[in-house]
Amino acid sequence: MTESAPSKRTQVGRLPQRGDYSKATIHSILDAAFLCHVGFVVDGQPFVIPTGYGRDGDTLYIHGSAASRMLRNLDQGIAACVTVTLIDGIVLARAAFHHSMNYRSVVVLGTATLVEETEAKAEALRIISEQIVPGRWKDARPPTAQELKATTVLALPIDEASAKVRTGPPKDDEEDYALDIWAGVLPLSLQPGTPIPDPQLKAGVDEIPEYALHYRTQD
C-alpha cells in the first residue's frame, strides 16, 4: 500500500476530517486488535462474518474451516470488505444529538487469494495466532497435515484502505455549554482477567505462561 490519496471507494465522506490514509495509522489500528468483520455478497445476499485475523506487512490473513461458506466464496475472487473497530470511550455531550464515541477504525477493500502451499499456510496460521496471543504458537502443538488440509487460509492485500478516528471531549452547540449538565468522556478498554486453568491439565502443569499472565491489552 502507498501513502497516496485515498481511492474513491475509501474516501471518508461523513466527517472527512477524521479520515486518515497513512500506512502507519492503518497498521497501528490493525495491530491493536485481532477480530475483524468480513463483508461479502453471494447471489445478491450480503453477509458480514466476524473472524480472527493477523497482519504481516501489507497483507491480512484470515482463516477458518475449509467448509466455511465465507472462505469458499472469498477464494473464488469475489470482492470483500474487512472492517476493524476499537472503542476507546463513550462521549457524553450536553445534548443527546451530540453524544458520540471515541474510536479507531479501519476499512480494507479488496480481493482475497487462497494460500495453498503448506509452509506458507502454516506461517499464516502462526501470524494469526501471534496476533491474538503473542508467544503462544511456540508452546502449542503445530497443526498436523490433516488439520492443515481442513483449514482454509486467505490473504487480503492492504492496498485499498482507510482509517477513521475520533478523539477528545464532546462538541456541543455553543449555547449548550451554559447548561447545568455534566459532560465528558467515559473511557473504555479491553482488559484481560485472571487466566482460568483447564480442569483437565496434566498433573504438574500448573505454571501459567507469561504471555497469558501478562497479556497485552489494546493500545
Q: Which of 77, 75, 63, 76 is nearest to 148 (CA)?
A: 63
For residue 23, the model assigns a pLDDT of 92
Nearest to 120 by CA among 92, 148, 141, 139: 148
Q: Which of 164, 117, 132 is nearest to 62 (CA)?
A: 132
At 3-27, the pLDDT tens digits run 556 777 777 767 777 778 899 999 9
Closest CA to 81 of 52, 120, 107, 51: 107
Domains defined for the chain, CATH in brackets: 16-171+195-213 (2.30.110.10)
Please, what sign has the CA dihedral across residues 84, 57, 10, 101? Answer: positive
Average pLDDT per block of 10 residues along the chain, 219 residues long = 62 73 93 95 90 96 83 82 96 97 96 92 96 95 93 93 95 97 96 93 93 77
Task: Check residue 218 and give its pLDDT.
Answer: 46
**CA dist list (Å): 190 to 80, 142, 172, 182, 187:** 27, 28, 28, 25, 11
